[in-house]
Amino acid sequence: MKTARAIARANIALAKYWGKSDRVLNLPAVPSISITLDGFETDTRVTFDPRFHRDTLVLNGRRATGDKARRAIELLDRVRALAGLAEAARVESRNSFPTSSGLASSSSGFAALAAAASRAAGLRCTDSKLSALARQSSASAARSIFGGFVELKKGRKGEHALAARPVASPDHWNIRLVVAVTTDKEKEVGSTEGMERSRKTSPYYERWLEEAPTWAATVRRGIRSRNLSLVGEAMERSTLAFHACAMTSSPPIVYWRPATLGALRAVWTLRDGGTAAYATMDAGPHVKVLCHARDARRVSQALRRTDGVRAVVVAKAGRGVEVYR
Ligand code: DP6
């Protein structure tokens, strides 16, 4: 029996990835930059055993099937091929936050799975190799291998080994991401499907590809110089532009709920009042607000008062993946 456990943390992109240049290798068409979040953890154990007849995946105590299981098994297959292993696996995974609702559970999920599966299979992978392995399953997962602030470049043609890399450590900058949870339902259109639909049908998609690298460069510069308004303004433009692509797809993809707009307005009102707070939304209705640590309480209070906001969680930058036997 070969077993290992890994803990990975979700990340939220400050400059968004939306769109692929290669679906088979899962290469992003734009660069992205994220913050790995403390506390938003996926804890995964992988066990390979010759007595198992097939791969099983238990997610938050329930047997997973369908697309989720298929994607996990594809990752296990890649690990088995690298390790020359034929044994089936049991995967047990738990999230400390809602799954598949735009809280980036696939980022921590595939990062933890890549790390636990490769260690269980006896592979000795560098973080960069783990990141490339996780990226093939879900590009945002490549970023969760690392802690703090992390970038994933856009993929060049045939770039099998594309991996994320750290931009700055978790303690580089004392900022917070305040997460306003608006629903605990699973999202209707997954990001993989959503970005493909945008690529095929949104009239704004080409323009998104042109503009996104500039926002990513600004976000990177702002992180390095700890300049919140520089990061925040580029971050909001990046998220609004990707949502514009999603909304103008056919059929349209609208991830927002009334509470999303309410929270966005609350952030802009805070800003009018002199608090540096900036919003970002992923493929779901939640709003994540970037602010200085000293303003996190004020931002949380404003979000808690917003109609439809069910919970508010304050996160700081977290560590990269950790692997245990
Ligand atoms: C909106 O990484 O979930 O959260 O590579 O198809 O698995 P796949 O997509 P995924 O997309 C994340 C999209 C996003 C923005 C981001 O995290 O950069």
Same domain, 129 and 268: no
Residue 187 pLDDT class (50, 70, 90 cuts): low
Q: Which two tokens stand for residue 125?
A: 């992978």
Can you count the helices (H) and strands (E) in the chain? 9, 14
Amino acid at residue number 22: D
CATH number of the domain within which 10 lies: 3.30.230.10
- Tell me, what's the pLDDT at 316? 97
- Tell me, what's the pLDDT at 191? 95
Look at ligand 1, atom 8, and give the residue with the nearest C-alpha. Answer: 138
Q: Residue 62: which of 40, 102, 95 has the closest Cα?
A: 95
Using an 8 Å Cβ cutoff, are 285 and 303 in contact? no
Last residue of a domain, one of 172, 200, 230: 172
- Tell me, what's the pLDDT at 20? 98
pLDDT digits (tens, 9 = 90+) for 258-279: 999 999 999 999 999 999 999 9
The DSSP line for 277-322 is: EEEE--SSS-EEEEEEGGGHHHHHHHHHTSTT--EEEEE-B----E
DSSP-assigned beta bridge partners for residue 33:
15, 151
Last residue of a domain, one of 148, 172, 196: 172
CA 19 / ligand 1 centre spacing (Å): 9
| Residue 325 included in any domain | no
- Tell me, what's the pLDDT at 97? 73
CATH number of the domain within which 209 lies: 3.30.70.890
Same domain, 308 and 187: yes
CA 282 / ligand 1 centre spacing (Å): 8
CA 22 / ligand 1 centre spacing (Å): 14
CA 196 / ligand 1 centre spacing (Å): 11
> CA angle, 69 as apex, 13 and 41 as ends, to 5°?
40
Same domain, 41 and 105: yes
The DSSP line for 212-231 is: HHHHHHHHHHHHHTT-HHHH
Using an 8 Å Cβ cutoff, are 259 and 306 in contact? yes
Mean pLDDT computed over 107-131: 98
pLDDT digits (tens, 9 = 90+) for 54-98: 999 999 999 999 998 999 999 999 999 999 999 999 999 999 876
Same domain, 26 and 163: yes
The size of the chain, in residues, is 325
Using an 8 Å Cβ cutoff, are 268 and 289 in contact? no
Same domain, 80 and 210: no
Mean pLDDT computed over 167-186: 92
Distance of CA 323 to the CA centre of its chain: 19
The domain tally of the chain equals 2
Q: Is this model's pTM higher than 0.85 or not?
A: yes
Nearest-angstrom CA–CA distance, 118 and 62: 23
Backbone φ and ψ of 29, nearest 5°: -85, -10
Mean pLDDT computed over 164-191: 91
DSSP-assigned beta bridge partners for residue 104:
none
Range of the domain at 182: 175-315
DSSP, res 23:
T
Same domain, 78 and 218: no
| Residue 323 included in any domain | no
| Residue 324 included in any domain | no
Q: Which helix (H) or strand (E) holds 36?
A: strand 32-49
| Residue 206 included in any domain | yes
Same domain, 42 and 156: yes
Same domain, 155 and 250: no
| Residue 226 included in any domain | yes
Residue 188 pLDDT class (50, 70, 90 cuts): confident
Q: Residue 233: which of 277, 175, 201, 191 has the closest Cα?
A: 277
Same domain, 21 and 149: yes
- Tell me, what's the pLDDT at 104? 64
What ligand 1 atom has the least distance to the C-alpha of 195? 6
| Residue 321 included in any domain | no
| Residue 320 included in any domain | no
* Gyration radius (Cα) of the chain, Å: 19
Helices of type H across the chain: 66-83, 105-120, 127-137, 139-144, 191-201, 205-224, 228-247, 258-272, 296-304
Residue 101 in this model has a pLDDT that exceeds 60: no
Backbone φ and ψ of 315, nearest 5°: -120, 145
Share of the chain above pLDDT 90, in %: 93
Same domain, 189 and 164: no
**Ligand 1: does its nearest atom lie under 6 Å from the Cβ of 100?**
no
**Ligand 1: does its nearest atom lie under 6 Å from the Cβ of 162?**
no
DSSP, res 203:
T
Amino acid at residue number 288: K
| Residue 322 included in any domain | no
Share of the chain above pLDDT 70, in %: 97
Same domain, 16 and 155: yes
Using an 8 Å Cβ cutoff, are 141 and 270 in contact? no
Using an 8 Å Cβ cutoff, are 29 and 209 in contact? yes
Last residue of a domain, one of 172, 204, 237: 172
Mean pLDDT computed over 224-251: 98
Same domain, 73 and 85: yes
Mean pLDDT computed over 237-255: 98
